[in-house]
Amino acid sequence: METYNQFITNILNTRGRVITENIYKERHHIVPRAQGGSDSEENLIDLTAKEHFIAHKLLAKENPDILCLQQAWACMAFMGKDHHEVTPEEFAECREAQAKLSKIRNTGTISPRRGIPLTEEHKEKIRTTCKLYKPTEEAKCKQSAAQMGRQVSEETRKKLSLANKGRKRSAEFRQKCSECKKGNTNAQGHKLSQESIDKILETKRKNGTYYWSEERKQKYYETEHPRWALSEETKQKMSAANKGKEKSSTHKESLAAAQQKRFGSIEITEELKMKIILELKQGIPIHTVGKRYGISDHRIKKYIIPDMEEAQEVTE
């Protein structure tokens, strides 16, 4: 098989360095710049498109460890079809050689930008680009299908938790999250159908994320409701102090008005009652269930808990 040096030498001896005919030609570096070649006239030669492709093919095959020579060959094979024909065998050989070397070169490498903080100008450009990007419906469907059924490992969950720990959210971001959660809406603000809500709840039940563990209950009580974290002695003192004490009519009216304003007057149907009883039996706190369905704790205790077979298992 003819080598690269033999190929170039044969052209220099038969035709010379310059093509004088009025045909398509390309300038070629005899010694590639990747190997220290210069742009001087002594290092340049005119080649036809076919000769140029053959020259780079020979260079790439003789120097399989030089990535830029593989890329030059690939570019000529993929983009130079207007001037020379590439057989399927040559095309496949070129692609395989480039892919193999790229895999070797990129394995275990780290991006040169890693660890370098972005400038405020660069961050602003990224924000602007993300805000202007609007995925098509087809893209949304593909993203949804790719995430459907995806199981996140415990290790990944811990990493995400550590990464978000102590992260401060802006007031604007918190307001958006609050608006999205009102009225059973998704992240885009679209109202969820009852079918979607049921699917979400069923998925949570299957994954075990729907139930509250004892550790989670205790953490919630201590952070959200510190009064439940009081010592037993303090609780007994408070109970004794309030025992037999009646609320004034003004106090009762204020409490009723606050409950009415917060929860409204939602009718407790049999279907709703069965849902609430099921969740209470699963160990979900009364205040959480009441907030979810818009019913006060008092109404749950008065109208629903007496119908339960195991009322003593309800978590306050």
Q: Is residue 38 part of a domain?
A: yes
Domain match, 48 and 97 both: yes
Domain match, 231 and 291 both: no
Q: pLDDT tens, 226-263? A: 555 567 787 788 888 877 777 788 877 777 776 665 55
310, pLDDT greater than 60: no
Last residue of a domain, one of 54, 79, 106: 106
Calpha distance 31→55 (Å, rounded):
11
- The per-residue pLDDT for 160 is 86
Tokens of 312: 């003593």
Domain that holds residue 281: 266-316
Domain match, 235 and 311 both: no
Domain match, 49 and 9 both: yes
214, pLDDT greater than 70: no
Q: pLDDT tens, 66-124? A: 878 877 887 777 665 555 566 767 777 777 776 776 666 666 655 666 667 888 888 88
Domain count across the chain:
3
- The per-residue pLDDT for 312 is 47
* 183: confidence class by pLDDT, cuts 50, 70, 90: low
Strands of the chain, DSSP E:
26-29, 44-47
302, pLDDT greater than 80: no
Domain match, 29 and 81 both: yes
Domain match, 15 and 96 both: yes
Phi-psi region of 9 (alpha: psi -120 to 50; beta: other; left: phi over 0): alpha
Q: Is residue 165 part of a domain?
A: no
Last residue of a domain, one of 43, 78, 106: 106
* 190: confidence class by pLDDT, cuts 50, 70, 90: low
Backbone angles phi, psi at 46, to 5 degrees: -85, 130
Q: Is residue 221 part of a domain?
A: yes
Taking each helix axis as running N to C, give the angle between helix 88-106 and helix 67-79, from 0 to 180 degrees, rounded to the nearest 10: 150
Q: Is residue 274 part of a domain?
A: yes
For 149, half-sphere exposure in the C-beta direction (CA atoms, 13 angstrom radius) is 2
Q: pLDDT tens, 37-50? A: 888 888 999 988 88
Last residue of a domain, one of 106, 127, 147: 106
225, pLDDT greater than 60: no
